[in-house]
Amino acid sequence: MKKILQLLAILTLLIWGGLFLQFYISGRIEKYLDPSFRIYALLSGTGFLLLGAFNFFNRNRETGVCTHDHAHGETCQHDHHHDHAEEHEEEHAHACDHK
């Protein structure tokens, strides 16, 4: 399912980028946008195409995704259900390395 969603996102970027550039190059954009905004359509279309191409070429690359749970559990070795906040900060910092 992730692969399908990734390819769908890539396809969406390429289609939108292609449409923006096609409208800009053909002159059809003149019917829809004020002249001061036309350069943004060119830049956006180019950006969409570059981003889509980058994602396409890197679609099979390993991402180094963290596979462990970041939620506090039994391995954290300290209680999270107490009210003395000032004392807790020092205790909390040594066990899980965060505040």
Whether residue 94 lies inside any domain: the answer is no
Residue-level pLDDT at 65: 64
Whether residue 71 lies inside any domain: the answer is no
Residue-level pLDDT at 93: 53
Whether residue 80 lies inside any domain: the answer is no
Which residues does the chain have with pLDDT short of 50?
none
Full residue range of the structural domain in which residue 37 is found: 2-57
Whether residue 30 lies inside any domain: the answer is yes
Domain count, the chain: 1
CA distance 37 to 18: 17
Whether residue 21 lies inside any domain: the answer is yes
Whether residue 22 lies inside any domain: the answer is yes
Whether residue 34 lies inside any domain: the answer is yes
Whether residue 67 lies inside any domain: the answer is no
Are 6 and 54 contacting, i.e. CB atoms less than 8 angstroms apart? no
